Amino acid sequence: MSIASWKRRHFVAAALVTVVCGVVIGTLLHPSSVSGQGPVRTAVLNAPLPPPVLGPDIVPLTNVQKLGKFLIYDNTLSDPPGYACATCHIPSTGHTGPSSQVNANAGPQPGVVPGRTGRRKPQTYNYATLSPEGPYFDNVAAAWVGGNFWDGRAPDSAAQALDPLVDPNEMANINQGTSAHPFSPLVVQKIQTRPYSDLFKQEWGPDVFTKYTPQQLYILVGAAMAAFEDSPEVNSFSSKYDASKFGVPPMHKYKLTASEERGRRLFFGNALCSACHSSTGLPVLQAVTNGKDTFTMYCFANIGIPRNPLNPFYQETDCTTNPLGCNALGTNFIDLGLGGNPNPAPNGMKFFHTTLGDIPQFNGLFQAPTVRDVDKRPTPTFVKAYMHNGVFKSLKEVVHFYNTRNLTTSDLPLRGKPSKNPINLTNPTTYAASLGTRKPIWGPPEVLDPTSNLVQTYMGYVTLNNPTGLPPSQGGQVGNLGLTDQQENDIVAFLKILTADFTKPNPIIH
């Protein structure tokens, strides 16, 4: 496999069909201050996570996929040793965080250096290799699409893998490269002495370790890891959904219950989930997956996730011991998503010029993750954290959020009709005015947080999806869906049948 083959997925814009993961553009914001934001609670700084267990192969792996698997489970590659990629991405949770307690207490995971912590929840790496090289602006999706990470800062999975190794809050090797092209000589040294080092020779020749420069060898590490992530062991398309008549190919091994079927109709219909969480709307993506649904469009949207008061990153303020990974803003920290992506898009376009967030139309946009495996957990009581900051702890909470983001407690209990008087989340002023004395069900969107000095950088743009809370009948997407409690439960029931391992892997045939 060549390095270049990892850059192969080049997507051509197809004809415009429907507006799907649309970017909401250009409402005017009048900055003003508003009080009333709840206090940030003291989060628990969790101890480093335990080492992962290397399980048996589920499918026959090619040489390079096998190498990638060994690398991803090698917990000596961090500095100090102790962390592997798989430490934060374990199979039994759908390749996200391994600890129920950390998920419940935080969401973001502790790094290998005690006391350090990341700012985000591990995005699953399942189906990440199918994300188009990006981010690029896609005319069909009417949105930025592609790349890896919540903020799209890696163009593809092979590039992505090189970042956690040198992230000071993750595997903590010293980066002797740049943000866009990281490089750790120590990692390159280590991989040459590991039991799996022969697999490098089998793949790239007996002289691989002398033929290539250390920088090139580091790139091969990422390519091998991405090869494993691209294998049917990870992208397995083996859920009940795939095994039903709706899968590709249709299998009829699983029949949806009445509730799951109602959930399916809502997901692809009135609840509008498929606008962002399905590849069926993007023909270029469907061509790569041979019609199988990735349950994401890999598009970026600002759905207005509130801040996570338990995000331990608020306490990561020690810039003396952790100059490259600290959070100088403390509790004022706002995660800008794509607007804080330090790396330019593949076409050279920048997501900010000189200061984070100074190109306002990117602020608050995060990549819609796949909803495959969102319910995968080792035991029924295991807590998973959802969204980029892990603020939500159950799928019911997630769906209730989509249904009621713009609602107040006076709209409860749910009556199955959209609220006629939704909160206007356009800016802090409209928020306060439209709320009046009513109580919001949710905290305000993180990017609208009036306690932050960064609100000023929005400079008149609102990237939030459906800020005024229009119901779907008037073109609104997120926030005021008018679903009943039962309909929320039906959508949750549908999400649960997207968990892998109901059948054997049912991979894409290339």
Least distance CB 366 / ligand HEC (angstroms): 4
Q: How far apart are the first and last CA of the chain?
A: 15
Segment near ligand HEC (CB under 6 A); pick from 189-197, 206-214, 368-376, 420-428: 368-376
Separation between Cα atoms, residue 305 and residue 366, nearest integer Å:
10
Q: Give the count of residues interacting with ligand HEC (CB under 6 A).
A: 54
| Contact between 441 and ligand HEC per CB under 6 A | no
Give the whole-angstrom CA distance, residue 130 versus residue 286: 10
Residue 386 in contact with ligand HEC, rule: CB under 6 A: yes
Contact in structure between 122 and 113 (CB atoms under 8 Å): no
Collect contacts of 149-153 with beta carbons under 8 A, ≥24 apart.
Answer: 149/123, 149/367, 150/120, 150/123, 150/337, 150/366, 150/367, 150/369, 150/388, 151/336, 151/337, 151/338, 151/340, 151/341, 151/366, 151/367, 152/300, 152/338, 152/341, 152/367, 153/179, 153/341, 153/342, 153/343
Among 6, 11, 73, 83, binds ligand HEC (CB under 6 A): 83
Closer to ligand HEC by Cβ: residue 352 or 386: 386
Contact residue for ligand HEC among 118, 146, 247, 440 (CB under 6 A): 118
CB nearer ligand HEC, residue 457 or residue 480:
480
Q: Which of 113, 171, 359, 464 binds ligand HEC (CB under 6 A)?
A: 171
Using CB under 6 A as the binding rule, whether residue 136 contacts ligand HEC is answered as no
Q: Report the SS3 class of residue 204.
A: helix
Q: Does 398 bind ligand HEC (CB under 6 A)?
A: yes
* Region near ligand HEC per CB under 6 A, out of 36-44, 268-276, 320-328, 436-444: 268-276
- Sole window of 122-130, 206-214, 350-358, 413-421 interacting with ligand HEC (rule: CB under 6 A): 122-130
CA distance 136 to 115: 36
**Do you find a cis peptide bond into 378, omega within 30 degrees of 0?**
no
Q: Is 500 in the site for ligand HEC (CB under 6 A)?
A: no
- Which parts of 54-111 are beta strand (E)? none
Contact pattern for ligand HEC over residues 271 through 300, marking x by CB under 6 A: xxx-xxx-----------------------
> Is 305 near ligand HEC (CB under 6 A)?
yes
Helix, strand, coil proportions of the chain in percent (round to 5)? 30, 5, 65
Instruction: Name the amino acid, one letter, at 275.
Output: A
Q: How far apart are CA 363 and CA 339, in angstroms?
A: 4
Indicate the residue among 156 and 203 with the shorter CB distance to ligand HEC. Answer: 156
Q: Which residue has the tokens 């702890």?
A: 393
Task: Find the binder of ligand HEC among 46, 65, 75, 87 (CB under 6 A).
Answer: 87
Cβ-closest position to ligand HEC = 85
Smaller CB distance to ligand HEC: residue 271 or 284?
A: 271
**Torsion 114-171-76-53 (CA) sign:** positive
Tracing tokens 């939500």 back to the chain, one arrives at 392
Q: Which amino acid is at 231?
A: S
Listed ranges 3-11, 254-262, 394-402, 502-510: which one lies at the site for ligand HEC (CB under 6 A): 394-402
Among 70, 144, 149, 295, binds ligand HEC (CB under 6 A): 149
Structure letter (DSSP) for residue 93: G
- Asked if 499 touches ligand HEC (CB under 6 A), the answer is no
- Binder among 74, 79, 138, 170 for ligand HEC (CB under 6 A): 170
Residue 388 near ligand HEC by CB under 6 A: yes
Q: Binding of ligand HEC at residue 374 (CB under 6 A)?
A: yes
H, E, C per residue of 120-133: CCCCCCCCHHHCCC
**Residue 297: which residues within 8 A CB-CB, separation 6 or more?**
20, 21, 141, 143, 145, 275, 276, 277, 278, 279, 281, 282, 285, 368
Q: Please tell me whether residue 161 binds ligand HEC under the rule CB under 6 A.
A: yes
Decide whether 50 or 249 has the Cβ nearer to ligand HEC: 50
Please pick, from the candidates 93, 160, 406, 434, the single residue that binds ligand HEC as defined by CB under 6 A.
Answer: 160
Candidate residues 29, 67, 106, 128; the one interacting with ligand HEC per rule CB under 6 A: 128
Query: Which parts of 205-351 are beta strand (E)?
Result: 300-301
Identify residues 211-230 at the interface with ligand HEC (CB under 6 A).
Answer: 225, 229
SS (H, E, C) 384-431: CCECCCCCECCHHHHHHHHHHCCCEHHHCCCCCCCCCCCCCCCCHHHH
In order of 183, 304, 498, the CA distances from 72 in angstroms are 17, 33, 25
Taking the least distance from each CB to ligand HEC, the nearer of 173 and 457 is: 173
Residue 463 engages ligand HEC in binding (rule: CB under 6 A): no
CB of residue 433 to ligand HEC, shortest distance in Å: 25
Q: Is residue 398 a contact partner of residue 345, using CB atoms and an 8 Å limit?
A: no
Of 57-65, 154-162, 173-181, 252-260: span binding ligand HEC (CB under 6 A): 154-162
**Which residues are at the interface with ligand HEC (CB under 6 A)?**
21, 72, 83, 85, 87-89, 109, 111, 118, 120-123, 125, 128, 148-151, 157, 160-161, 164-165, 170-171, 225, 229, 271-273, 275-277, 301, 303, 305, 366, 368-369, 371, 374, 386-388, 395, 398-399, 402, 465, 477-478, 491
